[in-house]
Chains A and B, each alone.
Chain A
Amino acid sequence: MESKYIHKAFSFTVDTPNQSYNKKFDLDKNVSLLLGLLISSSDPKKLFYRGSQRIELSGDELYPEDYESKLLMSGISVPPNEKYVSLGNGVLSGNGEVKMLYKDTDNANAVFEPYVVTLVLKCELK
């Protein structure tokens, strides 16, 4: 049987400097595996220098606290099919609950202004 993929995007606004943002997103019930992810922003420079996060899926930690956002970013020069950070053979979606603890931290290379953070998940359907 041929697998079907969907890309789910979840966004939130970072409106206060040096704050943590605890976000919870739910995947559709027909998602079986999480295959990859990426993080992007309305202002990539701010995400690159100021962002870090913890990400968990169905209670399992994918990335620990203080994992820098820049390591999960891509670039406009990268072909679309190569943008995602691969999670190997995939991670079972379980109850489909994605939790993200995003932290904004001061950095001299990027002065704070509100920006939007987007988490994009590449999922395989049942």
Chain B
Amino acid sequence: MIAVSISRKFKIIPVPISDIDSIKTFDLHLPSGTALITGIQVTTDVAGLGNLGRLTLQSNDRTDIFISLAVNANELQPADEVLMGIDTDDLEMQPEWVSGKIAQSHEIAINGDTTLLHCIYRTYQPANFMLKVYLQYQEREETDKEEESNDREFYTELYSTADQTAGLS
């Protein structure tokens, strides 16, 4: 069966990072109806600086870290081999609109209290830039509806089988 519905929603959270931040802690707020976070993506607005730092997230119930992501500038710098004139097919020396290596969404599934996420950004390379965190999530009502729908399908099938067994259909 092709299930066609739009249950995903996005929250885009801009976080300014300063070159004096060695470690920056902040919280990300999601709507109270959030039932499940399903994806995360990070982008920056600077170019050519390579690896800027690392972003680590933890849910509000202070349980384990659920994801830790590298934060990279756009247009990765050429590898040392390229700068030294060595012929290489390394695509990372190309900008993203040529290589297609666009920041990817990391699939995650976190239940529990996801209305507030605790974050730590650790600087590897000081820079002023805007970090954007994209969170893809599902709202509680939609998740419940989906479960309810699945339950309904299950019981419909169960009763149908029972009816057939009893010779009623």
Q: Is the CB of A48 within 8 A of B74?
A: yes
* A contact residues around B132 at 8 Å (CB): 68
Q: Is the CB of B97 within 8 A of A73?
A: yes
Given contacts A66-B12, A109-B74, contact A75 B96 (CB under 8 A): yes
Q: Is the CB of B97 within 8 A of A48?
A: yes
Q: Which of A4-12, A14-22, A85-93, A115-123 contacts B (4 or more CB under 8 A)?
A: A85-93
Q: Does A30 contact B (CB under 8 A)?
A: no
Q: Is the CB of B6 within 8 A of A61?
A: yes
Q: Which residue of B lies closest to A90 (CB)?
A: B4
Q: Is the CB of A67 within 8 A of B12?
A: yes
Q: Does A111 contact B (CB under 8 A)?
A: no
Q: Does A81 contact B (CB under 8 A)?
A: no
Q: Is the CB of A70 within 8 A of B102?
A: yes
Q: Is the CB of B4 within 8 A of A91?
A: yes
* A contact residues around B4 at 8 Å (CB): 33, 89-92
Total residues of chain B contacting the partner, CB 8 A: 27
- Tell me, in angstroms, the Cα distance from A64 to B12 when the chains sit together: 8
Q: Which of B39-47, B54-62, B116-124, B155-163 contacts A (4 or more CB under 8 A)?
A: B39-47
Q: Which residue of A lies closest to B48 (CB)?
A: A109
Q: Is the CB of A78 within 8 A of B2?
A: no
Q: Pick 20 A–B contacts, CB within 8 A, sort by A.
A: A45-B95, A48-B95, A48-B96, A48-B97, A64-B10, A64-B12, A67-B10, A67-B12, A70-B43, A70-B102, A74-B102, A75-B96, A75-B99, A75-B101, A77-B91, A78-B100, A89-B2, A90-B2, A109-B47, A109-B74
Seed contacts A66-B12, A75-B97, A78-B100; 18 additional CB < 8 Å A-B pairs? A44-B97, A48-B96, A49-B45, A49-B74, A60-B6, A61-B9, A64-B9, A68-B43, A70-B96, A71-B134, A73-B102, A74-B100, A76-B98, A76-B100, A77-B99, A89-B2, A90-B4, A109-B75
Residues of B within 8 A of A (CB): 2-4, 6, 9-10, 12, 41, 43, 45-47, 74-75, 91, 94-103, 132, 134
